[in-house]
Amino acid sequence: MKPGSVAIVGAGPGDPELITIKAMLRIQEADVILYDRLVNEGLLSYAKPETLRIYCGKSPGHHSMPQERIEQLMIQYAADGNKVVRLKGGDPFVFGRGGEEALAMAEAGISYEVIPGITSAIGAAASAGIPLTHRGLAASFAIVTGSRCHGHESPVRWDRLVNSVDTIAIYMGISQFSDIREQLLLHGKKGTTPVAVIENGTTSRQRTVTGTLNNMEKLLAVMNISNPALIIIGEVVKVREQLLSLESEARSQIG
């Protein structure tokens, strides 16, 4: 029996064309694909018809497959000689539990590789016209989680972040926006700091809302913005407005 293997693969941020060639090759060769909720399902059509496709994400009203179960399946299918692809949204090592899966494969003695993907902060920023760094405005950016942002158990040191990084991209933060805002203001950000929220970034359903720390919560409610969405905080958000106004100027000159 030929030995099986596992590829822990980043599918990119939503637009299926943003996947890497290497990731696409692994999908085409796969015997089994275990995929997450945020993966664009169109990508599965590139697999062989007989490829086993296993959904691991949460469906409304149901729990997602427990992480241990996913890892068990990856090990089991690979040990049976299959080429297994573990397909995840964005990049597997950015809030994707890819590290845990790599550790589980290594521990089980399964041959594995990790294929990076465009993480949603990079993808959404590009399609919203927001450069994460920009000469004169931002020389650094950080990717942080907005979940459990309140109180002592917060995995993010907001005090240090606010005072050391120019652009902050926050994942999993939409439902926590008011707590995040509170942390940022508490540690010295101004209420007038520009904020963008990008929902369904890089897809045809993308919506982008821009405002400030002061008014964003209201805007999110009015626009009914929900997950998946990314929050970008910092002066670079203004570049989007600049791009948009230059584009509309150019259009009006043509027209």
Binding residues (CB under 6 A) for ligand SAH: these are: 13-14, 38, 88-91, 94-96, 119-120, 124, 171-172, 198, 200-203, 227-230
**CA distances (Å), 14 to each of 79, 118, 133, 139, in order?**
31, 9, 22, 27
Closest CB to ligand SAH among residues 82, 167: 167
DSSP string, 52-115: EEEE-S--TTSPPPPHHHHHHHHHHHHHTT-EEEEEESB-TTSSSSHHHHHHHHHHHT--EEEE
Residue nearest to ligand SAH (CB): 90
Closest CB 226 distance from ligand SAH, rounded Å: 10
The two three-digit tokens of residue 129, written as one number: 């016209």
Q: Annotated catalytic sites, by residue? A: 36, 58, 172
Q: Phi and psi at residue 196, in whole multiples of 5°? A: -125, 145
Closest CB to ligand SAH among residues 83, 88: 88
Closest CB 143 distance from ligand SAH, rounded Å: 8
Compute the radius of gyration of the chain from its Cα atoms.
Answer: 20
Closest CB to ligand SAH among residues 201, 234: 201
Residue pair 167/236 in contact by the 8 Å Cβ criterion: yes
Closest CB to ligand SAH among residues 51, 202: 202
Closest CB 200 distance from ligand SAH, rounded Å: 5
Closest CB 237 distance from ligand SAH, rounded Å: 15
